């Protein structure tokens, strides 16, 4: 049995992008994705799809790319691999909803291969509610765990812990949101294992529109006012801080002359900064800040 | 003749902070600074002064700090100096005006000293108009050059060029604004030279409220509408990108466990991101983008 080739993986990921965009358009009911195709001078390219001003979603991006060519010096030294031609493909998503009651979400799956056969998969999915809701966090983690468990019972605990460490705003000592899973450099031991990891990435990719449509439907009609919008904008400011200061993928892209607009499609439509913003005692905002911590076992969390 | 001590420099810089805050309050006519005093566990502290919701200024910070103690590992490896106790003091300013017709401004002066006598001054002042105005840029550069020339005719050309390189948003291939001056590791050869460099930093510090009050007065009554506010928010987004991705001071502060709120007082009150924002041909926005370039000789620029 032979494993899927890198070209096949790119095609499969591209189909996933189509599927996800269709599902999000269906769930939103108003907005439509616009496609921005781009070529990379050194080899490959991508399709960045952007959604603006929907009925539920304010701004979102679902990007596919498949790039290849000689390995740039900076990438080589960062990845600590042999100098070789490389191939990288992936789907990357960040969605900013209109309502502060609907969480921000991020999902990314990617595959990397060198001419010499070195390869790995990476990815993750994490939820960033503007207001932490314990039931939503539990539901999200349960869905993610269920998918992980189909492939390897060790995945969820390991990748959940990696997500807590990765999606962490160090200068605030806050997690970005309620976490999820993060994995990187997951390599296959044999062909069947390879297809299993590929399928795991696809299962995460397919979980994304399902679980996010659930939150869109459930939370978008919840009431909110100006105070909640302000808080949403402050939380979006934190999202900006994480992505520009700490996110390895963003830094790497900007540092290696990546396609700026595609990398920064994760930026929110609006964000705010207020000096020393204080939350009120006993407020939902304070509850949120108190639960942006590493190591919370959301599956078994009770108040 | 003995040179000023580090304690004296800190006192002089603190007085400068008072002077600047008073001048900005006078020019704004409505807003008042609030002071936030903080201590650093390892030694020293600062006074961060924040201005919010004035008549002309929307959000601004004028920070003074004087910190000392054993050199943290990360700072030592970054600065490439001997392990020693350090002392650092400075005044740092970023102002975001309400009107898109008034430029954003930044000014920073700082002094650094080690127990072994190693010392240097650093600093700069740069202007970030939301709309590039050739006369404003020329006026600003002329004022800065006049101050530089009082101390050393080599300063302006050298430090202007360093500012072009420093205040550069690499991933956009845009300068942050119309530049100004930037200098670092300026060390004295003898005591009289030391006081001369100190006085140069004070002259830049004193220029700041004078030149910015001029722009506040001249530009704050210029008309603008929603389109200009949107453009202002997009330019503020670029300011965020520069500060979080490229600004060495910000990165250094966040990376070495500095005081986050004081470091990020430079963040605008609001910012926006729009995917692939396009400017109209022949518009003031397009003119601005076309003039966010290195190496423009603003003193002799004509259309």
Domain spans, chain A: 6-300
Pairing of strands B104-114, B119-128: antiparallel
Identify the active-site residue in B19, B68, B96, B106: B106
For residue A96 the two structure tokens come to 């900013």
Report d(CA A109, CA A49) in Å as an integer. 16
A234 contacts chain B (CB < 8 A)? no
Residue B104: count other Cβ atoms within 10 Å of its Cβ.
Answer: 23
How wide is the angle at C-alpha A60 spanned by C-alphas A135 and B59, nearest 5°? 90
Tell me phi and psi for residue A7, to 5 degrees. Answer: -65, -40
Quick one: which H or E segment has residue A119?
strand A119-128
Cα A54 to Cα A30, B40, B246: the distances in Å are 5, 47, 33
CB B199 within 8 A of CB B147: no
Report chain B residues whose CB lies below 8 A from the CB of A258. Answer: 171
Q: Does A271 touch chain B (CB under 8 A)?
A: yes
Q: Indicate the CATH number of B6-300 among 3.60.9.10, 3.40.1500.10, 3.40.50.300, 3.30.200.20.
A: 3.40.1500.10
Choose among A35, A49, A76: nearest CA to A265.
A49
Helix extents (H) in chain B:
6-28, 73-79, 134-151, 155-166, 191-219, 226-241, 248-255, 260-263, 284-290
Q: Which residues of B touch A275 (CB under 8 A)?
A: 36, 48, 50, 52, 59, 61, 261, 265
Nearest by CB: B273 against A48, A254, A264: A264
Q: Please state the ipTM of this predicted complex.
A: 0.94
d(CA A151, CA A193): 10
Q: Per residue of chain B (303 residues), what is the pLDDT tens digit?
A: 689 999 999 999 999 999 999 999 999 999 999 999 999 998 999 999 999 999 999 999 999 999 999 988 888 888 888 888 999 999 999 999 999 999 999 999 999 999 988 999 999 999 999 999 999 999 999 999 999 999 999 999 999 999 999 999 999 999 999 999 999 999 998 999 999 999 999 999 999 999 999 999 999 999 999 999 999 999 999 999 999 999 998 988 888 778 999 999 999 999 999 999 999 999 999 999 999 999 999 999 987
DSSP-derived 3-state class of residue A298: helix
* A74 CB within 8 Å of a chain B CB: no
Q: Is the pLDDT of residue A44 over 90?
A: yes
Looking at the DSSP bridge assignments, the partners of residue B77 are: none
Give the distance, in angstroms, between the CA of residue B176 and the centroid of all CA atoms in the same chain.
Answer: 12
| pLDDT bracket for residue A55 (50, 70, 90) | very high
- Sign of the C-alpha dihedral, residues B272, B276, B281, B282? positive
Pairs of residues, one from chain A and one from chain B, whose beta carbons lie less than 8 Å apart: 83
B53 and chain A in contact, CB less than 8 A = no
pLDDT band at A1 (very low <50, low <70, confident <90, very high): low
Q: Look up tokens 């960062």; give the residue.
A: A78
Q: Which residues of B touch A272 (CB under 8 A)?
A: 269-271
Nearest to A97 by CA among A62, A57, A131, A60: A57
């Amino acid at each position: 049995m032979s494993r899927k080739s890198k070209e096949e993986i790119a095609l499969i990921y591209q189909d996933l992008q189509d599927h996800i965009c269709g599902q999000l358009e269906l769930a939103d009911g108003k907005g439509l994705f616009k496609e921005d195709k781009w070529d990379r001078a050194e080899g490959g390219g991508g399709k960045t799809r952007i959604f603006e001003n929907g009925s539920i979603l304010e701004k979102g991006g679902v990007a596919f790319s498949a790039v290849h060519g000689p390995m740039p010096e900076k990438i080589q030294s960062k990845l600590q691999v042999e100098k070789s031609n490389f191939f990288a493909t992936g789907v990357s998503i960040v969605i900013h909803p209109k309502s502060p009651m609907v969480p921000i979400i991020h999902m990314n799956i990617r595959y990397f291969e060198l001419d010499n056969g070195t390869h790995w998969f990476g990815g993750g999915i994490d939820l960033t509610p503007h207001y932490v809701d314990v039931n939503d966090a539990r539901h999200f983690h349960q869905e993610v765990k269920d998918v992980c468990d189909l492939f390897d019972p060790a995945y969820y605990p390991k990748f959940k812990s990696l997500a807590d460490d990765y999606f962490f705003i160090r200068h605030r000592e806050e997690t970005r949101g309620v976490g999820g899973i993060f994995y990187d450099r997951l390599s296959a031991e044999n062909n069947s294992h390879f297809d299993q990891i590929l399928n795991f990435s696809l299962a995460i990719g397919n979980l994304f529109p399902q679980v996010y449509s659930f939150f869109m439907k459930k939370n978008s009609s919840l009431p909110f006012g100006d105070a909640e919008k302000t808080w949403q904008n402050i939380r979006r400011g934190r999202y900006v801080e994480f992505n520009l200061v700490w996110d390895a993928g963003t830094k790497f892209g900007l540092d290696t002359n990546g396609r700026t607009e595609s990398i920064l499609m994760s930026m929110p439509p609006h964000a705010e900064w207020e000096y020393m913003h204080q939350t009120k005692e006993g407020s939902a905002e304070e509850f949120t800040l108190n639960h942006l911590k590493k190591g919370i076992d959301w599956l078994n969390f009770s108040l």
